[in-house]
Amino acid sequence: MSLLQELLAAFSYGFMWRALFVGIAVAISSSFIGPFLVLKRFSMIGHGLSHVAFAGIAVGLLFNTAPLIFSMIIVVAVSVFILKLNETAKLHGDAAIGLTAAVAMAFGTILASVAGGFNVDLFSFLFGSILTIQRLDVYLSITFSIIVIAVVTSLYHDLFTMTFEEDFAKVSGINTKRLNTVLAILVGVTVVIGIRAMGTLLISSLIIFPTIIAMQFSRGFKATIVIAAVSSVFIIIFGLMGSYILDWPSGSTIVLLNGFVFLGVYMYNRILRPQ
């Protein structure tokens, strides 16, 4: 069977379409919040929260309840907690994230161990598996992505001002505390909706890679968001196809593809692009 026939055959399966919808939804929503986090030097919050999501999923699986919904509530709460820890306990963002992530990962691992070790379900949550994406996941991903995109679009100017310079935003009358809390909630939501396709350990890459790829080209902030979203959608589509053909975990395949694209763009900018 040729590669093209194999790909066409793949899209005769419902799971492939479901993966595509979830992938595109999470690619766009994570590209919408990525620039704010990367430029506020808070990009590792996605990584930290994915560890928290792992603990949430472990709890969900243990009690046999919807793991993603359970995880979303915990992740959003912890995301706001990390922010408050950063503001009030005089901890730098990276230290607050590191502490929380380590405790959550330890908790999740102990829970999995007590429940009888890592089973297949937990592994698919760690690295992403397109086979496990259900119809409900598609609805949830699309709904929450639309919410994330709508919130970022409506608060765009305030978020941009705060990211560029927090003091100037405060002087202009922007409530930066409230805005940071909204951003923390959006990150929590985005991390959880991306878990099915990307896995808890790799979802943060979808927040960081598209932004830094876009930053190699763009001069403006709006352009960075648009380029990040478009490139991330293409990478997700090709990554999912690659994952199907090569029988690799979807999250890992997408991250590797992101890595190659970034390297290609970086090399082009450094070596080939006329100055």
Partner 1 sequence: MDKQSLLSLQDLTVKYHSFTAVSSVSFDVYERDFIAIIGANGSGKTTLIKTILGLLHYQKGTIEKNDDVTVGYLPQHTMALDRFFPATVDEVVGMGLLSTKRFPKRLSKQEKQNVQDVLHMLNIKALVHKRIGALSGGQQQRVLLARALVSNPDILILDEPTSALDHSMRKQFFDILKHLNKSHGVTIILVTHDIVSAGDYINRVLYLDQKLMFDGTFNQFCEHQELSPFIHTHSLRQEKAGEQS
Q: Which residues form the interface with partner 1 (CB under 8 A)?
A: 35, 39, 154, 156-158, 160-161, 164-165, 167-174, 214-215, 218-224
Least spacing, CB of residue 164 vs partner 1, in Å: 6
Min CB(217)–partner 1 separation in Å? 9
CB of 18 to partner 1, least distance (A): 34
- Phi and psi torsions of 202, nearest 5°: -120, -5
> Residue 267 burial (CB < 10 Å; 0-12/13-18/19+)?
exposed
**Number of Cβ within a 10 Å radius of residue 114:** 10
Determine contact, residues 127/249, Cβ cutoff 8 Å.
yes
Judged by CB, which is closer to partner 1: 63, or 168? Answer: 168
Q: Which is nearer to partner 1, 19 or 33 (CB)?
A: 33
- The smaller minimum CB distance to partner 1, of residues 155 and 197, is found at 155
Task: Give the nearer residue to partner 1 in terms of CB position, either 244 or 262.
Answer: 262
Instruction: Give SS3 for 35.
Output: helix
- Nearest distance in Å: CB 179, partner 1: 11
Name the minimum Å distance from CB 171 to partner 1: 5
- The pair of structure tokens assigned to 275 is 């100055």
CB of 218: closest distance to partner 1 in angstroms? 5
Give CA–CA dist 48/46, Å, rounded: 5
Q: Tell me whether residue 39 or residue 115 sits nearer to partner 1 (CB atom).
A: 39
Query: How far is 49 from 71, CA to CA, in rounded Å?
Result: 10
**Token pair for 57:** 């999923």
Structural contact between residues 104 and 51, judged by C-beta atoms closer than 8 angstroms: yes
Q: Which is nearer to partner 1, 126 or 174 (CB)?
A: 174
Closest contact distance (angstroms) between CB of 224 and partner 1 is 4
Angle (nearest 5°) at CA 171 between 166 and 172 = 95
Q: What angle do CA 142, 233, 40 make, to 5 degrees?
A: 85
Nearest one of 11, 27, 42 to 193, comparing CA atoms: 27
Alpha-carbon span 201 to 136, nearest angstrom: 22
